[in-house]
Amino acid sequence: MSKLVTIIGGSGFVGRYIARRLAKEGWRVRVAVRRPNEALFVRPYGVPGQVEPVACNIRDDASVRAVIRGADAVVNCVGVLNGVGANTFDAVQAQGAGRVARIAADMGVGQLVQISAIGADALSDSAYARTKGEGEAAVLAAFPTAVILRPSIIFGTEDQFFNRFAAMTRMGPILPVVGANTRFQPVYVDDVAQAAVAAVNGGAAPGVYELGGPEVDTFRGLMGRMLKVIQRRRAVVNMPFFVARIMGFGFDMLQAVTLGLIENKMITRDQVRNLARDNVVSPTARGFADLGITPTAMEAVLPEYLWRYRPSGQYAAIKDSAKNLKKV
């Protein structure tokens, strides 16, 4: 019988790519999510019955134990960018990660992979970075042979980075950003999935790996690359941090007074803190090279999904070709 892997958060941006790769390698894949009915799209990743979404609440021991039971490997992809309701940073990224690791160890799971993030630091003033760091510590304490992957900002067809800012270019001639000079090392989502699969298959030594693409650029520089791909001219305007903090406070308060009914999807104070720090691979960290993986350049992927933000959309290439026709 083929081996079974449980991917907690397996229908999310990164999780779905991991699920697809493992299914192709013959693994039975249990996709553990809060709302299984919204994750039915993962089933075609394999033959009938090979990939199945199941209900899981990472905040509950019994729920996590149920989805891990019988698994040979576990991958935890769960994370939040904005704590809403019971799904706070602490509950999900710190306590939740520790719970998965503790239960996986108790149930004799062979391999555990934790998806974290560059900048994870238990001493950080950012709740996101702090709880990522606390989660890593809890994972290693309960499951010392775990593999922890720390990607930089992740791009790909379903990303919430390039897609978000490309959509904003439709609203006017100005593209505002916070932390225009902050450096990033964007990494392709399927490269992160490949690293996770290598770890699941036992091809990675235990410990922490930082994952970044082949290019490092500032936030402003990344927006310039995106604008070139979508064939739009926009003024990239840097928003001062003090202004961003005021805006974040306002949106956070609106979320708080409405008890999360109006979720802050603009910018939070915690996100402003993170945008003030570079998000690149440390020179001494293990990374893709140690896993035998060559990361993919942005230029090879961005045009494949950002074309829809071009003024002419799918017809942009045809119009460009038509301009080269000689007039008769």
pLDDT reported for residue 26: 97
pLDDT of res. 328: 47
**pLDDT the model gives residue 1:** 59
Place of tokens 């970075």: 129
Cα dist from 181 to 149, 165, 177, 236, 278, whole Å: 25, 16, 10, 12, 9
Output the pLDDT for position 207: 97
Q: Which CATH architecture best describes the domain 4-156+186-214+280-295?
A: 3-Layer(aba) Sandwich (3.40)
pLDDT of residue 325: 67
pLDDT in tens, the chain (328 residues): 589 999 999 999 999 999 999 999 999 999 999 999 999 999 999 999 999 999 999 999 999 999 999 999 999 999 999 999 999 999 999 999 999 999 999 999 999 999 999 999 999 999 999 999 999 999 999 999 999 999 999 999 999 999 999 999 999 999 999 999 999 999 999 999 999 999 999 999 999 999 999 999 999 999 999 999 999 999 999 999 999 999 999 999 999 999 898 999 999 999 999 999 999 999 999 999 999 999 999 999 999 999 999 998 877 777 766 767 655 4
Burial tier of 290 (Cβ tally within 10 Å: 0-12, 13-18, 19+): middle
Answer yes or no: are the C-beta atoms of 298 and 225 closer than 8 Å. yes
Residue extents of the structural domains in the chain: 4-156+186-214+280-295
Per-residue pLDDT at 326: 56
- Bridge partners, residue 155, by sequence: 188
